[in-house]
Structure 1
Amino acid sequence: MVTLRYRQGDITQEHVDAIVNAANSGLSGGGGVDGAIHRAGGPAIMDACRELRRTTHRAGLQTGQAVATTAGRLPARWVIHTVGPVYAAGLDQSDLLRCCYTTSLAVADELGASSVAFPLVSAGVYGWPIADAVQQAVTAISTATTAVTDVRLVLFDARAYAAASALLGPAAEL
Structure 2
Amino acid sequence: MATAQHKDTTTWWGRLTERCYTASTDTLARSVKDQAGAAFDALVNDLERPLEPRFEQAVAWQLAAGQPAHFKPARTLMPMMMQRFGLEERVLQEKGQIRHADYVALRDTCNACAAVGDCWKAMRANAEIEECRRLCPNANAFDALAAQSSCVD
Asked whether the two chains share a fold, i.e. TM above 0.5, the reply is no
TM class by shorter chain equals: under 0.3
Highest RCO, 1 vs 2 (Cα 8 Å, sep ≥ 6): 1
Higher relative strand content? 1
Higher relative helix content? 2
TM-score (norm 1): 0.24
Instruction: Compare CA radii of gyration and give the structure with the larger one.
Output: 2
